[in-house]
Structure 1
Amino acid sequence: MITGPATCGIVARELENAFGTADFVPARLTVDLFRAGMMSETTVTTTSVRDGRRIKVADASVLQGGVEIARATLVLLRTSEEPPGEVWVPDDRPIPPNAEPSTEPGFWWGSDDHPDGWTQSMRAQHNAGRKRMWGRQIGVVSGEEPSQFVRCAMAAESTSLMSNWGTLGVGFINADMTMALARLPIGPDIGLEADNHISTAGVAVGSATLFDRHGSFGSCVITAVANPQAQVTFG
């Protein structure tokens, strides 16, 4: 199988290549992940839904063997000036680890309940505290450096991991991912911090904040279904 971040990354790549422009920001990407992707030939088709002066919308479909395994919608918004006045923002902002910037793909993992805050061991973060991750995504296409938007899409899919990770690992699989961006990240390293987890009768909703060393720049939300027979415990 291929992972959810890989599916989100390839669909983000295709939509950005087809519809991205210098004066429009990719503001929202929603990916429905309704079939597991396999290690086989994958095709992405894209369609323009709206090509407006301030708003552009495009759809994509991910196919394997002629069967749709995922679909996505991208909303692009034209950049402009900020309006006047002050708006409430939360006081607490995610803080990256003090580690040096990455030169290779890899991750740090953190939680409120871990005494050292950040580690490079996922197993060390088996607790009930708020989870966060920081690092550099691998390339979604071999031999090609991913764009900042593709890096975001791959990181955002881990909202399910951040929001559903508890004392015994992760017992949910996400059915979708929605990422909303105010800007693209600065630098190749991206963080993701859980904001909320809500679950009842095996159905969960999770949310998280995307951040870099300059602050928060986006929000993510997922829905997930319980999958305890394949509980992921990170060894």
Structure 2
Amino acid sequence: MSAWTPTQLSGTSVCGLLAHGLETCSPGPEFVPARFTVDMFSPVLDEPIELRSVIVRDGNRIRVADAQILQRDRIRARATAQYLVVSAEPPGQIWRPAPDLPVPDARLDHLEGSMPLFKSGSGDWTHSFTSGLNPHRKTVWNNIPPLVDGMPITAFERSAVVADFTNLMCNWGTEGVGYINTDVTMTLSRLPQGPELGLQARDHASSDGIAVGAATLYDRTGPLGSCMITALSNTRRQLDVAAAAAARPVTAGTI
């Protein structure tokens, strides 16, 4: 359920379900879902969902696919994925940043998922949902549970779910979260290895109630992509993350 209201699905679930639909259009393991963009323009309700997907463009090196979530004869959310073929790296040296991407000592490897770990600034890793009430850079470490009943979660679905945490990582401050994201874009150079995924806030800008945020997606072997969100001020429903977690406890096996 959404932390904003109990009658809607969370953005993490919406992203994961759309990724699930897009995977039916995957060309195969020799392709990487290099870009995944979700538009969340209507609430996805806690009701039966129709999930549609279609291949838009097919080629030897690029495939583009679209997916939609429909409820009550309306499109509630949509996504597009661009699959790129894996090939050899070109010659030469290119500048790359050397980000400090923290990794917890303890492993989150439960088969049914694990409670997320949070880190603010130079503080310690913690499961506490009150740890982000500060103006410091946020990082989250996740092991996402299975998304669809009876099916193991895939690396792409796992990445899509974590991508929606970008709003929390970039907009969590001293008074909670005052922005609700209207979209998510995730870019991947590769799929994650293993069940754990980290996300660290990288950039934030806001003006007149509109915010944009960017974060780095990584695993224990290093960075693998970026996530970006656009968000609207939602001060009428300023989100108290700790209260939302207490109302709907996050345990292994839940998103």
Q: TM-score range by the shorter chain?
A: over 0.9
Question: Does residue 155 of the first structure (1) align with residue 162 of the second (2)?
Answer: yes
2:214 counterpart residue number? 207
- Partner AA of 1:168 in structure 2: E
- 1: CA distance, partners of 2:176 / 2:229: 18
- 2: CA distance, partners of 1:92 / 1:73: 29
Alignment of 1:16-165 (within 5 A): 16-103=23-110, 104-112=113-121, 114=123, 117-165=124-172
**What percentage of residue pairs aligned between the two structures are identical?**
42
User: For the aligned residues, what is the CA RMSD?
Assistant: 1.1
- Partner AA of 2:121 in structure 1: D
- 1: CA distance, partners of 2:217 / 2:119: 14
- 2: CA distance, partners of 1:96 / 1:35: 35
Deviation at 1:102, TM superposition (A): 2.6
- Partner AA of 1:201 in structure 2: D
Whether the 8 Å CA contact 2:27–2:63 is kept in 1: the answer is no
Deviation at 1:65, TM superposition (A): 1.6
Whether the 8 Å CA contact 2:25–2:55 is kept in 1: the answer is no
- Partner AA of 1:112 in structure 2: G
- Partner AA of 1:160 in structure 2: N
Q: TM-score, normalised to structure 1's length?
A: 0.96
Is the partner of 1:184 in helix, strand or coil?
Answer: coil
Q: Which runs of 5+ in 2 are unaligned?
A: 1-7, 244-255
Moved more, 12-21 or 49-58: 12-21
Whether the 8 Å CA contact 2:181–2:230 is kept in 1: the answer is yes
- 1: CA distance, partners of 2:221 / 2:23: 24
After TM superposition, the runs of 4+ consecutive aligned structure 1 residues lying more than 6 A away are none
- 2: CA distance, partners of 1:154 / 1:128: 24
- 2: CA distance, partners of 1:122 / 1:110: 10
- 2: CA distance, partners of 1:209 / 1:109: 15
Is the partner of 2:96 in helix, strand or coil?
Answer: coil
- Partner AA of 2:115 in structure 1: G
Moved more, 13-22 or 178-187: 13-22
Deviation at 1:17, TM superposition (A): 2.1
- 2: CA distance, partners of 1:189 / 1:113: 21
Is the partner of 1:124 in helix, strand or coil?
Answer: coil
Whether the 8 Å CA contact 1:208–1:220 is kept in 2: the answer is yes
- 1: CA distance, partners of 2:99 / 2:63: 33
Deviation at 1:113, TM superposition (A): 5.4
Whether the 8 Å CA contact 2:214–2:226 is kept in 1: the answer is yes
**10, 15, 23: which one aligns with 1:8:** 15
- 2: CA distance, partners of 1:20 / 1:6: 24
Question: Does residue 227 of the first structure (1) align with residue 234 of the second (2)?
Answer: yes
